[in-house]
Amino acid sequence: MVFFPWPVAAGLISIPYVYYFVLWTRPGWWMRFSKKTLRKDPCQSMYEVAMLGKLLQFSAFAGWYFTAAPAMSISEMVHLPVLRLLFGVVAVILGQSLNVGAFKAIGKEGIFYGCRFGKKIPWCTAWPFGGSYSVRHPQYVGSCLSVLGITTLLATNAHVEAGIVWLSGSWILWWVLAAIWEDNI
């Protein structure tokens, strides 16, 4: 089996964020390209390309994980220390709850930069953007929690030595950077 070092996987995982940054900072280009070349709404075409980006990210992580070291078996996972197992499962559940909640609250056009493409996206004050238990950038916080939870559940000592903490940390850093540029650019 061919093993590629974690920085290669991290580089592949970063590619969609370059795309997101370009769309955030140059929305007019994407609007023209989507409408004239793809003949699609820019939010819809962003969604479609973003799903390919997710496939790339998950493939890079899985490809790295399964070649870097032997994968953790289900029997090993259920015998993890209770706090580690609990933290990992709760982080994934909370993370995905925030992701689903964000999508339900603002829809595809809100998630996929409709405000940058000239669409009127009403300001959302409902959960997870407002109200009790809300957080700033719920989709990004949810993604960070999901990566952290999955890493907590899947990391073996061999994966830690091979760089899973660095790989997951770099993935989380991209979400942090996305929140920063959305707030400041």
| Per-residue pLDDT tens digits for 109-152 | 999 999 999 999 999 999 999 988 899 999 999 999 999 999 99
pLDDT digits over 96-113, tens only? 999 999 999 999 999 999
CA separation, residue 105 to residues 19, 48, 102, 108, 110 (Å): 24, 20, 5, 10, 9
Q: What predicted TM-score, i.e. pTM, was given to this entire model? A: 0.94
CA angle 91, 63, 51 (to 5 degrees): 65
